[in-house]
């Protein structure tokens, strides 16, 4: 993944009030920590803040680099630890097709794991289709398949990039 992509990405998330997304997600972060009786680790908040800056994908390397720029040096291994915690709290999702991470901006519990990923600007839209989710669960049952992970990552071009690519 290109390290400079985050600059390009920031321009694509301006079509809505992103501050609302951020404050909602932050409230949820504090709620989750309280519910589960977890303390905030030193890197957890900087990692989350960076992920919340837009709807784009960040690699652990991106995150380590960006956080190190703003002060103390952090290593990717420390970033992975924070990411794992944030994933367990349901605040961050890992996208295996893009080998990266995104903040979750959905309301409530986010269990469907369905994503539209723009391969041009690397912005991600989470969708939450209960219908799709039920189909997968039903089909797994029919096939006697035990699901460990059911992320659906759909790759393509977002509305913005469909008009700008040639
Ligand atoms: Zn937003
Ligand atoms: Zn989510
Ligand atoms: Zn796009």
From the list 128, 16, 5, the residue with the least C-alpha distance to 58 is 5
CA of 127 to the centre of ligand 2 (A): 8
The domain limits of the chain are 4-164
Is 6 exposed, middle or buried, given 0-12, 13-18 or 19+ CB atoms closer than 10 A? buried
pTM comes to 0.84
pLDDT per residue as tens digits for the range 135-166 = 999 999 999 999 998 899 999 999 999 998 65
Alpha-carbon span 82 to 119, nearest angstrom = 26
Instruction: Output phi, psi for 39, to 5 deg.
Output: -90, 155
Burial of 92-125, coded b for 16+ CB within 10 Å and e otherwise, reads bbbbeebebbbbbbbeeebebbbbbbbeebbbbe
CA of 141 to the centre of ligand 1 (A): 36
Name which of 35-44, 74-83, 84-93 the model is least confident about: 35-44
Whole-angstrom CA distances from 63 to 53, 70, 98 are 12, 11, 15
pLDDT on residue 107: 81
Alpha-carbon span 92 to 12, nearest angstrom = 20
What is the token pair recorded at 125? 């839209």
pLDDT on residue 108: 76
Average pLDDT over every residue of 90-102: 94
Give me the sign of the Cα torsion angle 70, 73, 79, 81: negative
CA of 109 to the centre of ligand 2 (A): 8
pLDDT on residue 14: 53
CATH number of the structural domain 4-164: 1.10.10.10
Q: Is the pLDDT of residue 8 over 50?
A: no
CA of 15 to the centre of ligand 3 (A): 12
Ligand number nearest CA of 55 is 1
Percent of the chain whose predicted confidence (pLDDT) is above 70: 90
A 10 A CB-CB count for 153 gives: 15
pLDDT on residue 2: 45
Beta carbons within 8 Å of 60's beta carbon, 6+ residues apart: 76, 79, 80, 83, 101
Ligand number nearest CA of 8 is 3
pLDDT on residue 166: 58
pLDDT per residue as tens digits for the range 47-87 = 999 999 999 999 999 999 999 998 888 999 999 999 999 99
């Amino acid at each position: 993944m290109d390290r400079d992509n985050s600059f390009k990405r920031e321009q694509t998330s301006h079509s809505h009030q992103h501050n609302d997304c951020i404050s909602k997600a932050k409230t949820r972060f504090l709620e989750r920590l309280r519910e589960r009786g977890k303390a905030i680790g030193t890197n957890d908040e900087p990692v989350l803040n960076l992920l919340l800056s837009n709807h784009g994908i960040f690699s652990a390397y991106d995150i380590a680099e960006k956080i190190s720029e703003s002060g103390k040096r952090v290593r990717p291994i420390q970033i992975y630890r924070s990411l794992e915690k944030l994933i367990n709290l349901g605040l961050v999702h890992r996208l295996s097709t893009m080998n990266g991470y995104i903040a979750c901006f959905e309301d409530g519990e986010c269990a469907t794991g369905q994503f539209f990923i723009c391969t041009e600007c690397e912005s991600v839209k989470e969708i939450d289709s209960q219908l799709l989710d039920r189909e997968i669960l039903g089909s797994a049952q029919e096939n006697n398949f035990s699901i460990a992970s059911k992320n659906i990552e759909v790759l393509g071009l977002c509305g913005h990039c469909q008009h700008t690519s040639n």
